[in-house]
DNA sequence: ACTAATATTTAGCTTTGCCTAAAATTATAA
DNA sequence: TTATAATTTTAGGCAAAGCTAAATATTAGT
Protein backbone atom coordinates (compact mmCIF):
# COMPACT_ATOMS: atom_id res chain seq x y z
CA UNK A 1 0.00 0.00 0.00
CA UNK A 2 1.55 3.25 -1.12
CA UNK A 3 0.82 6.61 0.45
CA UNK A 4 -1.33 7.64 -2.51
CA UNK A 5 -3.29 4.39 -2.42
CA UNK A 6 -3.95 4.79 1.30
CA UNK A 7 -5.21 8.33 0.82
CA UNK A 8 -7.59 7.26 -1.93
CA UNK A 9 -8.95 4.33 0.07
CA UNK A 10 -9.58 6.49 3.09
CA UNK A 11 -11.40 9.11 1.05
CA UNK A 12 -13.55 6.52 -0.70
CA UNK A 13 -14.35 5.04 2.70
CA UNK A 14 -15.57 8.39 4.03
CA UNK A 15 -17.53 9.23 0.89
CA UNK A 16 -19.24 5.84 0.79
CA UNK A 17 -20.55 6.32 4.32
CA UNK A 18 -21.65 9.85 3.58
CA UNK A 19 -23.33 9.20 0.23
CA UNK A 20 -24.49 5.66 1.00
CA UNK A 21 -23.86 4.69 -2.60
CA UNK A 22 -21.05 4.06 -5.04
CA UNK A 23 -18.52 6.87 -5.18
CA UNK A 24 -18.22 8.77 -8.44
CA UNK A 25 -15.02 9.79 -10.13
CA UNK A 26 -15.79 13.47 -9.85
CA UNK A 27 -16.78 13.34 -6.20
CA UNK A 28 -13.45 11.72 -5.48
CA UNK A 29 -11.51 14.15 -7.65
CA UNK A 30 -13.02 17.10 -5.83
CA UNK A 31 -12.33 15.69 -2.37
CA UNK A 32 -8.76 14.79 -3.25
CA UNK A 33 -8.00 18.04 -5.05
CA UNK A 34 -6.95 16.24 -8.17
CA UNK A 35 -8.21 15.57 -11.72
CA UNK A 36 -10.85 13.10 -12.76
CA UNK A 37 -8.38 11.41 -15.08
CA UNK A 38 -5.96 10.81 -12.22
CA UNK A 39 -8.79 9.29 -10.22
CA UNK A 40 -9.68 6.93 -13.05
CA UNK A 41 -6.07 5.75 -13.21
CA UNK A 42 -5.99 5.01 -9.51
CA UNK A 43 -9.40 3.30 -9.52
CA UNK A 44 -8.14 0.88 -12.12
CA UNK A 45 -5.09 0.15 -10.05
CA UNK A 46 -7.08 -0.38 -6.85
CA UNK A 47 -9.54 -2.57 -8.73
CA UNK A 48 -6.63 -4.74 -9.94
CA UNK A 49 -5.60 -5.09 -6.30
CA UNK A 50 -9.14 -6.16 -5.37
CA UNK A 51 -9.56 -3.23 -3.01
CA UNK A 52 -12.69 -2.10 -4.81
CA UNK A 53 -15.14 -2.90 -7.58
CA UNK A 54 -14.88 -0.53 -10.47
CA UNK A 55 -17.53 -0.35 -13.19
CA UNK A 56 -16.70 2.05 -15.97
CA UNK A 57 -18.78 5.20 -15.76
CA UNK A 58 -20.56 3.80 -12.69
CA UNK A 59 -18.23 4.68 -9.85
CA UNK A 60 -16.53 2.44 -7.31
CA UNK A 61 -17.40 0.46 -4.21
CA UNK A 62 -14.91 -0.87 -1.65
CA UNK A 63 -14.58 -4.63 -1.22
CA UNK A 64 -14.33 -6.09 2.28
CA UNK A 65 -10.58 -6.07 1.84
CA UNK A 66 -10.66 -2.43 0.79
CA UNK A 67 -12.92 -1.46 3.65
CA UNK A 68 -10.61 -3.07 6.16
CA UNK A 69 -7.55 -1.40 4.72
CA UNK A 70 -9.30 1.97 4.69
CA UNK A 71 -10.58 1.62 8.24
CA UNK A 72 -7.04 0.87 9.39
CA UNK A 73 -5.79 4.11 7.84
CA UNK A 74 -8.60 5.96 9.64
CA UNK A 75 -7.65 4.20 12.87
CA UNK A 76 -4.04 5.32 12.54
CA UNK A 77 -5.07 8.87 11.67
CA UNK A 78 -7.33 9.23 14.67
CA UNK A 79 -4.93 7.62 17.12
CA UNK A 80 -2.23 10.06 16.05
CA UNK A 81 -4.66 12.93 16.50
CA UNK A 82 -5.28 11.78 20.07
CA UNK A 83 -1.53 11.64 20.63
CA UNK A 84 -1.03 15.13 19.29
CA UNK A 85 -3.77 16.64 21.45
CA UNK A 86 -3.48 14.60 24.64
CA UNK A 87 0.28 14.25 24.83
CA UNK A 88 1.80 17.07 22.79
CA UNK A 89 -0.91 19.57 23.77
CA UNK A 90 -1.76 20.61 20.26
CA UNK A 91 -5.05 22.32 19.77
CA UNK A 92 -7.80 20.30 18.01
CA UNK A 93 -7.74 22.57 14.99
CA UNK A 94 -4.03 21.99 14.36
CA UNK A 95 -3.72 18.24 14.22
CA UNK A 96 -5.33 17.15 11.00
CA UNK A 97 -2.51 17.92 8.59
CA UNK A 98 0.12 16.32 10.76
CA UNK A 99 -1.98 13.19 11.27
CA UNK A 100 -2.45 13.13 7.50
CA UNK A 101 1.27 12.38 7.28
CA UNK A 102 1.64 10.19 10.36
CA UNK A 103 -1.15 7.84 9.30
CA UNK A 104 1.19 6.44 6.65
CA UNK A 105 3.96 5.23 8.94
CA UNK A 106 4.26 1.49 8.44
CA UNK A 107 4.51 -0.54 11.62
CA UNK A 108 1.77 -2.65 13.12
CA UNK A 109 3.62 -2.84 16.42
CA UNK A 110 3.87 0.95 16.56
CA UNK A 111 0.11 1.37 16.37
CA UNK A 112 -0.47 -1.36 18.94
CA UNK A 113 1.80 0.38 21.40
CA UNK A 114 0.53 3.84 20.58
CA UNK A 115 -3.02 2.65 21.26
CA UNK A 116 -1.95 1.26 24.64
CA UNK A 117 0.07 4.38 25.47
CA UNK A 118 -3.02 6.50 24.84
CA UNK A 119 -5.19 4.23 26.99
CA UNK A 120 -7.14 2.62 24.12
CA UNK A 121 -9.20 5.68 23.28
CA UNK A 122 -12.57 5.24 21.55
CA UNK A 123 -12.84 8.71 20.04
CA UNK A 124 -10.49 11.21 18.46
CA UNK A 125 -10.25 14.89 19.50
CA UNK A 126 -13.12 15.79 17.16
CA UNK A 127 -15.41 13.17 18.65
CA UNK A 128 -15.02 10.78 15.73
CA UNK A 129 -14.91 7.08 16.60
CA UNK A 130 -11.62 5.19 16.26
CA UNK A 131 -12.09 1.92 14.34
CA UNK A 132 -10.70 -1.17 16.12
CA UNK A 133 -7.97 -3.37 14.60
CA UNK A 134 -10.59 -5.27 12.59
CA UNK A 135 -12.11 -2.13 11.14
CA UNK A 136 -15.27 -2.12 13.24
CA UNK A 137 -16.58 1.28 14.17
CA UNK A 138 -18.90 1.65 17.09
CA UNK A 139 -21.24 4.50 16.41
CA UNK A 140 -22.31 6.53 19.41
CA UNK A 141 -25.91 7.73 19.73
CA UNK A 142 -25.45 11.36 18.92
CA UNK A 143 -27.57 14.04 17.31
CA UNK A 144 -26.97 17.39 15.74
CA UNK A 145 -27.46 20.39 17.98
CA UNK A 146 -29.85 21.69 15.30
CA UNK A 147 -32.24 18.81 16.04
CA UNK A 148 -32.79 19.85 19.65
CA UNK A 149 -35.79 21.91 20.68
CA UNK A 150 -36.33 24.58 23.29
CA UNK A 151 -35.26 23.60 26.80
CA UNK A 152 -33.41 20.47 25.74
CA UNK A 153 -29.88 20.03 27.04
CA UNK A 154 -27.06 18.40 25.12
CA UNK A 155 -23.46 17.52 25.85
CA UNK A 156 -21.08 18.28 22.99
CA UNK A 157 -19.58 14.99 21.78
CA UNK A 158 -18.12 15.91 18.43
CA UNK A 159 -18.14 18.00 15.29
CA UNK A 160 -19.36 17.17 11.81
CA UNK A 161 -17.18 19.77 10.18
CA UNK A 162 -13.66 20.05 11.51
CA UNK A 163 -12.08 22.93 9.63
CA UNK A 164 -9.78 25.16 11.67
CA UNK A 165 -12.21 28.05 11.14
CA UNK A 166 -15.14 26.21 12.65
CA UNK A 167 -13.11 24.78 15.51
CA UNK A 168 -11.74 28.21 16.30
CA UNK A 169 -15.28 29.62 16.39
CA UNK A 170 -16.21 26.95 18.92
CA UNK A 171 -13.15 27.80 21.01
CA UNK A 172 -14.10 31.45 21.05
CA UNK A 173 -17.49 30.42 22.38
CA UNK A 174 -15.87 28.08 24.92
CA UNK A 175 -17.49 25.01 23.41
CA UNK A 176 -15.45 21.83 23.47
CA UNK A 177 -16.08 18.13 23.85
CA UNK A 178 -17.93 17.58 27.13
CA UNK A 179 -19.42 21.08 27.22
CA UNK A 180 -23.08 21.32 28.33
CA UNK A 181 -25.32 23.26 25.96
CA UNK A 182 -28.75 24.45 26.98
CA UNK A 183 -31.20 25.38 24.22
CA UNK A 184 -33.02 28.49 25.38
CA UNK A 185 -34.93 29.10 22.19
CA UNK A 186 -35.10 28.28 18.52
CA UNK A 187 -36.12 30.44 15.60
CA UNK A 188 -38.41 28.49 13.31
CA UNK A 189 -37.75 30.68 10.29
CA UNK A 190 -33.97 30.36 9.91
CA UNK A 191 -33.13 27.57 12.32
CA UNK A 192 -30.97 29.81 14.48
CA UNK A 193 -30.87 29.17 18.22
CA UNK A 194 -30.32 30.96 21.48
CA UNK A 195 -28.15 28.76 23.66
CA UNK A 196 -26.48 28.86 27.04
CA UNK A 197 -22.91 27.68 27.55
CA UNK A 198 -21.66 28.04 31.09
CA UNK A 199 -22.77 31.51 32.14
CA UNK A 200 -22.90 32.87 28.60
CA UNK A 201 -25.99 33.11 26.46
CA UNK A 202 -25.76 33.80 22.73
CA UNK A 203 -27.18 33.09 19.28
CA UNK A 204 -25.87 30.45 16.93
CA UNK A 205 -26.86 30.21 13.28
CA UNK A 206 -28.30 27.08 11.74
CA UNK A 207 -24.96 26.50 10.03
CA UNK A 208 -23.24 26.35 13.38
CA UNK A 209 -25.91 24.21 14.97
CA UNK A 210 -25.97 21.56 12.29
CA UNK A 211 -22.25 20.88 12.50
CA UNK A 212 -22.14 20.14 16.21
CA UNK A 213 -22.95 16.71 17.62
CA UNK A 214 -24.50 16.44 21.07
CA UNK A 215 -25.66 13.65 23.27
CA UNK A 216 -28.98 14.11 25.12
CA UNK A 217 -28.65 12.17 28.34
CA UNK B 1 12.95 18.55 0.55
CA UNK B 2 11.66 15.20 -0.59
CA UNK B 3 12.01 12.01 1.39
CA UNK B 4 14.76 10.76 -0.91
CA UNK B 5 16.68 14.01 -0.66
CA UNK B 6 16.51 13.95 3.13
CA UNK B 7 17.82 10.39 3.22
CA UNK B 8 20.75 11.27 0.97
CA UNK B 9 21.67 14.36 2.99
CA UNK B 10 21.61 12.45 6.23
CA UNK B 11 23.83 9.71 4.86
CA UNK B 12 26.32 12.17 3.40
CA UNK B 13 26.39 13.95 6.77
CA UNK B 14 27.26 10.72 8.58
CA UNK B 15 29.87 9.66 6.02
CA UNK B 16 31.56 13.05 6.02
CA UNK B 17 32.09 12.87 9.78
CA UNK B 18 33.31 9.32 9.58
CA UNK B 19 35.67 9.71 6.63
CA UNK B 20 36.65 13.33 7.35
CA UNK B 21 36.82 14.02 3.62
CA UNK B 22 34.59 14.39 0.58
CA UNK B 23 32.15 11.54 0.14
CA UNK B 24 32.54 9.39 -2.95
CA UNK B 25 29.77 8.19 -5.18
CA UNK B 26 30.46 4.54 -4.45
CA UNK B 27 30.64 5.01 -0.68
CA UNK B 28 27.25 6.61 -0.83
CA UNK B 29 25.81 3.99 -3.15
CA UNK B 30 26.88 1.22 -0.80
CA UNK B 31 25.44 2.89 2.30
CA UNK B 32 22.16 3.65 0.60
CA UNK B 33 21.79 0.27 -1.03
CA UNK B 34 21.47 1.79 -4.43
CA UNK B 35 23.45 2.16 -7.65
CA UNK B 36 26.24 4.61 -8.34
CA UNK B 37 24.34 6.02 -11.28
CA UNK B 38 21.36 6.84 -9.07
CA UNK B 39 23.69 8.57 -6.65
CA UNK B 40 25.19 10.70 -9.41
CA UNK B 41 21.71 11.81 -10.46
CA UNK B 42 20.84 12.85 -6.92
CA UNK B 43 24.18 14.59 -6.32
CA UNK B 44 23.52 16.76 -9.36
CA UNK B 45 20.09 17.61 -8.06
CA UNK B 46 21.35 18.44 -4.55
CA UNK B 47 24.17 20.53 -6.03
CA UNK B 48 21.59 22.53 -8.01
CA UNK B 49 19.81 23.15 -4.73
CA UNK B 50 23.07 24.36 -3.14
CA UNK B 51 22.97 21.64 -0.51
CA UNK B 52 26.39 20.40 -1.49
CA UNK B 53 29.37 21.02 -3.73
CA UNK B 54 29.74 18.42 -6.41
CA UNK B 55 32.88 18.09 -8.50
CA UNK B 56 32.67 15.46 -11.19
CA UNK B 57 34.67 12.37 -10.27
CA UNK B 58 35.75 14.04 -7.03
CA UNK B 59 32.87 13.35 -4.67
CA UNK B 60 30.66 15.76 -2.72
CA UNK B 61 30.86 17.99 0.31
CA UNK B 62 27.89 19.48 2.18
CA UNK B 63 27.48 23.24 2.20
CA UNK B 64 26.49 25.00 5.43
CA UNK B 65 22.93 24.89 4.20
CA UNK B 66 23.21 21.16 3.48
CA UNK B 67 24.81 20.47 6.85
CA UNK B 68 22.01 22.25 8.65
CA UNK B 69 19.32 20.42 6.74
CA UNK B 70 21.03 17.09 7.35
CA UNK B 71 21.49 17.74 11.06
CA UNK B 72 17.81 18.53 11.35
CA UNK B 73 16.91 15.17 9.84
CA UNK B 74 19.26 13.51 12.33
CA UNK B 75 17.64 15.52 15.13
CA UNK B 76 14.19 14.33 14.13
CA UNK B 77 15.36 10.73 13.79
CA UNK B 78 16.92 10.63 17.23
CA UNK B 79 14.06 12.41 18.97
CA UNK B 80 11.62 9.87 17.54
CA UNK B 81 13.90 7.07 18.73
CA UNK B 82 13.75 8.49 22.24
CA UNK B 83 9.97 8.65 21.98
CA UNK B 84 9.73 5.05 20.85
CA UNK B 85 11.95 3.74 23.63
CA UNK B 86 10.99 6.03 26.52
CA UNK B 87 7.28 6.35 25.88
CA UNK B 88 6.23 3.37 23.80
CA UNK B 89 8.63 0.97 25.52
CA UNK B 90 10.20 -0.33 22.36
CA UNK B 91 13.50 -2.03 22.73
CA UNK B 92 16.58 -0.15 21.47
CA UNK B 93 17.15 -2.65 18.69
CA UNK B 94 13.65 -2.16 17.23
CA UNK B 95 13.41 1.57 16.74
CA UNK B 96 15.69 2.43 13.85
CA UNK B 97 13.43 1.42 10.97
CA UNK B 98 10.41 3.19 12.40
CA UNK B 99 12.38 6.36 13.08
CA UNK B 100 13.65 6.11 9.52
CA UNK B 101 10.07 6.82 8.45
CA UNK B 102 9.06 9.24 11.19
CA UNK B 103 12.03 11.53 10.57
CA UNK B 104 10.33 12.68 7.37
CA UNK B 105 7.13 14.05 8.93
CA UNK B 106 6.97 17.72 8.07
CA UNK B 107 6.07 20.02 10.96
CA UNK B 108 8.46 22.26 12.83
CA UNK B 109 5.95 22.70 15.63
CA UNK B 110 5.64 18.94 16.01
CA UNK B 111 9.34 18.54 16.67
CA UNK B 112 9.40 21.46 19.07
CA UNK B 113 6.64 19.91 21.12
CA UNK B 114 8.04 16.40 20.87
CA UNK B 115 11.36 17.66 22.20
CA UNK B 116 9.62 19.32 25.15
CA UNK B 117 7.44 16.26 25.79
CA UNK B 118 10.57 14.11 26.00
CA UNK B 119 12.26 16.57 28.37
CA UNK B 120 14.79 17.97 25.86
CA UNK B 121 16.95 14.86 25.72
CA UNK B 122 20.62 15.19 24.73
CA UNK B 123 21.17 11.62 23.59
CA UNK B 124 19.20 8.97 21.76
CA UNK B 125 18.71 5.40 23.00
CA UNK B 126 22.00 4.34 21.39
CA UNK B 127 23.95 7.08 23.13
CA UNK B 128 24.21 9.24 20.01
CA UNK B 129 23.93 13.01 20.55
CA UNK B 130 20.80 14.82 19.37
CA UNK B 131 21.69 17.94 17.33
CA UNK B 132 19.98 21.14 18.52
CA UNK B 133 17.63 23.19 16.27
CA UNK B 134 20.62 24.93 14.73
CA UNK B 135 22.41 21.73 13.88
CA UNK B 136 25.06 21.92 16.60
CA UNK B 137 26.12 18.60 18.05
CA UNK B 138 27.80 18.50 21.42
CA UNK B 139 30.19 15.60 21.48
CA UNK B 140 30.58 13.81 24.77
CA UNK B 141 34.00 12.68 25.94
CA UNK B 142 33.68 9.00 25.33
CA UNK B 143 36.09 6.23 24.43
CA UNK B 144 35.81 2.77 23.04
CA UNK B 145 35.79 -0.05 25.55
CA UNK B 146 38.68 -1.52 23.55
CA UNK B 147 40.86 1.42 24.55
CA UNK B 148 40.65 0.67 28.26
CA UNK B 149 43.35 -1.26 30.04
CA UNK B 150 43.33 -3.71 32.92
CA UNK B 151 41.55 -2.48 36.04
CA UNK B 152 39.98 0.53 34.36
CA UNK B 153 36.27 1.02 34.85
CA UNK B 154 33.89 2.48 32.25
CA UNK B 155 30.23 3.37 32.15
CA UNK B 156 28.51 2.38 28.92
CA UNK B 157 27.32 5.55 27.18
CA UNK B 158 26.59 4.37 23.66
CA UNK B 159 27.26 2.03 20.78
CA UNK B 160 29.20 2.61 17.58
CA UNK B 161 27.41 -0.15 15.71
CA UNK B 162 23.67 -0.36 16.30
CA UNK B 163 22.52 -3.40 14.35
CA UNK B 164 19.82 -5.48 16.03
CA UNK B 165 22.28 -8.38 16.26
CA UNK B 166 24.85 -6.39 18.20
CA UNK B 167 22.27 -4.76 20.46
CA UNK B 168 20.74 -8.14 21.19
CA UNK B 169 24.15 -9.49 22.16
CA UNK B 170 24.56 -6.63 24.62
CA UNK B 171 21.12 -7.35 26.08
CA UNK B 172 22.04 -10.96 26.60
CA UNK B 173 25.07 -9.78 28.54
CA UNK B 174 22.96 -7.28 30.48
CA UNK B 175 24.88 -4.33 29.09
CA UNK B 176 22.88 -1.19 28.48
CA UNK B 177 23.45 2.54 28.70
CA UNK B 178 24.57 3.36 32.23
CA UNK B 179 25.99 -0.09 32.92
CA UNK B 180 29.32 -0.22 34.77
CA UNK B 181 31.99 -2.31 33.09
CA UNK B 182 35.13 -3.39 34.90
CA UNK B 183 38.11 -4.51 32.80
CA UNK B 184 39.65 -7.50 34.56
CA UNK B 185 42.17 -8.33 31.90
CA UNK B 186 43.12 -7.77 28.30
CA UNK B 187 44.71 -10.16 25.84
CA UNK B 188 47.43 -8.37 23.94
CA UNK B 189 47.43 -10.78 21.01
CA UNK B 190 43.81 -10.51 19.83
CA UNK B 191 42.48 -7.58 21.81
CA UNK B 192 39.91 -9.67 23.65
CA UNK B 193 39.03 -8.73 27.20
CA UNK B 194 37.81 -10.27 30.40
CA UNK B 195 35.23 -7.95 31.90
CA UNK B 196 32.89 -7.80 34.83
CA UNK B 197 29.29 -6.62 34.49
CA UNK B 198 27.33 -6.74 37.72
CA UNK B 199 28.21 -10.08 39.26
CA UNK B 200 29.03 -11.71 35.91
CA UNK B 201 32.52 -12.08 34.51
CA UNK B 202 33.07 -13.05 30.88
CA UNK B 203 35.18 -12.60 27.76
CA UNK B 204 34.41 -10.17 24.98
CA UNK B 205 36.13 -10.20 21.60
CA UNK B 206 37.90 -7.18 20.18
CA UNK B 207 34.99 -6.77 17.74
CA UNK B 208 32.60 -6.40 20.64
CA UNK B 209 34.89 -4.09 22.59
CA UNK B 210 35.52 -1.66 19.79
CA UNK B 211 31.85 -1.01 19.15
CA UNK B 212 30.98 0.01 22.68
CA UNK B 213 31.48 3.54 23.95
CA UNK B 214 32.29 4.09 27.61
CA UNK B 215 32.98 7.05 29.81
CA UNK B 216 35.82 6.77 32.31
CA UNK B 217 34.88 8.86 35.32
C1' DA C 1 54.74 6.04 -19.17
C1' DC C 2 51.41 2.88 -20.44
C1' DT C 3 48.06 -0.51 -19.82
C1' DA C 4 44.64 -2.61 -16.91
C1' DA C 5 41.49 -2.23 -13.27
C1' DT C 6 38.35 0.60 -10.82
C1' DA C 7 35.32 4.43 -10.21
C1' DT C 8 32.15 7.56 -12.10
C1' DT C 9 29.12 9.52 -15.36
C1' DT C 10 25.94 9.43 -19.24
C1' DA C 11 22.27 7.57 -22.07
C1' DG C 12 18.23 5.45 -22.31
C1' DC C 13 14.29 2.85 -19.90
C1' DT C 14 10.89 1.82 -16.14
C1' DT C 15 7.24 2.78 -12.64
C1' DT C 16 4.30 5.79 -9.92
C1' DG C 17 1.29 9.36 -9.81
C1' DC C 18 0.07 13.23 -11.74
C1' DC C 19 -1.47 16.44 -15.86
C1' DT C 20 -3.99 18.22 -20.42
C1' DA C 21 -6.59 17.47 -24.40
C1' DA C 22 -9.47 14.64 -26.98
C1' DA C 23 -12.81 10.93 -27.33
C1' DA C 24 -16.58 8.41 -25.47
C1' DT C 25 -20.49 7.80 -22.55
C1' DT C 26 -24.41 9.18 -19.84
C1' DA C 27 -27.69 12.66 -18.32
C1' DT C 28 -30.76 16.67 -19.19
C1' DA C 29 -33.91 19.33 -21.31
C1' DA C 30 -36.34 21.47 -25.25
C1' DT D 1 -36.43 12.25 -29.25
C1' DT D 2 -32.66 14.64 -30.25
C1' DA D 3 -29.32 17.94 -29.26
C1' DT D 4 -26.59 19.78 -25.77
C1' DA D 5 -24.30 19.49 -21.40
C1' DA D 6 -21.93 17.08 -18.00
C1' DT D 7 -19.20 13.20 -16.62
C1' DT D 8 -15.85 9.86 -17.36
C1' DT D 9 -12.30 7.54 -19.82
C1' DT D 10 -8.35 7.26 -22.93
C1' DA D 11 -4.17 8.85 -25.09
C1' DG D 12 -0.05 10.97 -24.68
C1' DG D 13 3.28 13.42 -21.60
C1' DC D 14 5.99 14.91 -17.53
C1' DA D 15 8.87 14.67 -13.21
C1' DA D 16 10.93 11.90 -9.52
C1' DA D 17 13.78 8.28 -8.44
C1' DG D 18 15.28 4.20 -9.53
C1' DC D 19 17.79 0.65 -12.97
C1' DT D 20 21.21 -1.46 -16.80
C1' DA D 21 24.61 -0.93 -20.15
C1' DA D 22 27.92 1.84 -22.40
C1' DA D 23 31.18 5.59 -22.32
C1' DT D 24 34.66 8.17 -19.88
C1' DA D 25 37.97 9.40 -16.09
C1' DT D 26 40.98 8.18 -12.61
C1' DT D 27 44.18 5.17 -10.23
C1' DA D 28 47.40 1.57 -9.87
C1' DG D 29 50.73 -1.84 -11.42
C1' DT D 30 54.50 -2.85 -14.25
MN1 LIG E 1 -2.63 11.01 4.37
MN1 LIG F 1 -10.30 13.86 13.52
MN1 LIG G 1 14.52 8.00 6.35
MN1 LIG H 1 20.03 5.97 17.10
Name the residue facing B98 among A89, A97, A105 (closest C-beta). A105
For chain A, where do the domains classified as CATH 2.30.30.90 start and end? 142-215
Interatomic distance B49 CA / D26 C1' (Å)? 27
Q: Classify burial at A64, counting beta carbons within 10 Å of its beta carbon; exposed 0-12, middle 13-18, buried 19 or more.
A: exposed
Nearest to A113 among B90, B97, B105 (CB): B90
Start-end ranges of CATH 1.10.10.10 in chain A? 3-62, 77-136
User: Which CA-bearing residue is nearest the C1' of C7?
Assistant: B26
Those residues of chain B whose CB sits closer than 8 Å to some CB in chain A are 84, 87-90, 94, 97-98, 101-102, 105-107, 109-110, 113-114, 117
Round to whole Å and give the CA distance between A108 and B166: 24
Closest approach of A114 to chain B, Cα-based (Å): 7
User: B83: Cβ–Cβ under 8 A, 6 or more apart, which residues?
Assistant: B114, B117, B118
pLDDT tens digits, one per residue of A119-140: 999 999 999 999 999 999 988 8
Tens-binned pLDDT, residue by residue, of chain B (217 aa): 999 999 999 999 999 999 999 999 999 999 999 999 999 999 999 999 999 999 999 999 999 999 999 999 999 999 999 999 999 999 999 999 999 999 999 999 999 999 999 999 999 999 999 999 999 998 888 999 999 999 999 999 999 999 999 999 999 999 999 999 999 999 999 999 999 999 999 999 999 999 999 999 8
Q: What angle do CA A61, A62, A65 make, to 5 degrees?
A: 155
Closest CA to A13 of A83, A64, A81, A56: A64
Q: Which ligand is nearest to the CA of A79?
A: 2
What mean pLDDT is reported for chain A?
96
A44 touches strand D (CB under 7 A): yes
Residue A103's nearest CA partner among A86, A127, A82 is A82
> Nearest-CA residue to the C1' of D25?
B57
Q: Which of A116, A115, A125 is CA-nearest to residue A86?
A: A125
pLDDT of the residue at B141: 87
Instruction: Report which bound ligand comes closest to the CA of B10.
Output: 3
B3-62: CATH number: 1.10.10.10
Tens of pLDDT, residue by residue over A46-103, are 999 999 999 999 999 999 999 999 999 999 999 999 999 999 999 999 999 999 999 9
CB contact under 8 A, A101 and B105: yes
Superfamily of domain A142-215 in CATH is Ferrous iron transport protein A (FeoA) (2.30.30.90)
Q: How far is the CA of A144 from the C1' of D19 (A)?
A: 56
Cα B46 to middle of ligand 4, angstroms:
25
Quick one: pLDDT at residue A217? Answer: 81
For residue A167, give the ligand nearest its CA.
2
- Ion ligand 4 residues within 5 Å by Cβ: B 81, 124, 126, 128
CATH class of A77-136: mainly alpha
Query: If you measure from the C-alpha of residue A82 to the centroid of ligand 4, how many angstroms do you get, rounded to a whole number?
Result: 26
Largest CA distance in chain A: 58
**Are A88 and B117 spatial neighbours (Cβ–Cβ below 8 Å)?**
yes
Sheet holding A143-144, edge to edge: A143-144, A212-215, A153-159, A180-186, A193-197, A200-204
Looking at beta carbons, which residues of chain A come within 8 Å of B103? Answer: none
Residue B136: the pLDDT is 94
Count of A-B CB contacts under 8 Å: 37
Within 8 A of B117 by CB-CB distance, chain A residues are 87-88
**pLDDT at res. B170:** 97
Please tell me the predicted confidence (pLDDT) of residue A56.
97
Quote the crossing angle between the two packed helices B64-82 and B3-19, to the nearest 10°: 100
Cα–Cα distances in angstroms (integers) from residue B129 to residues B168, B188, B216, in the given order = 21, 32, 18
pLDDT of residue A139: 84
Amino acid sequence: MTLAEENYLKTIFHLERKLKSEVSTNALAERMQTRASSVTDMMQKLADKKMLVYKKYKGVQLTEKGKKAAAYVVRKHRLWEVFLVDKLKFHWDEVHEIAEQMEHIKSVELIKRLDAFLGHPDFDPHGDPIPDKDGNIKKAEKRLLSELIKNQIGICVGVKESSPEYLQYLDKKKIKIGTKINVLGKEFFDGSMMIQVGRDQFFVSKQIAENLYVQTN
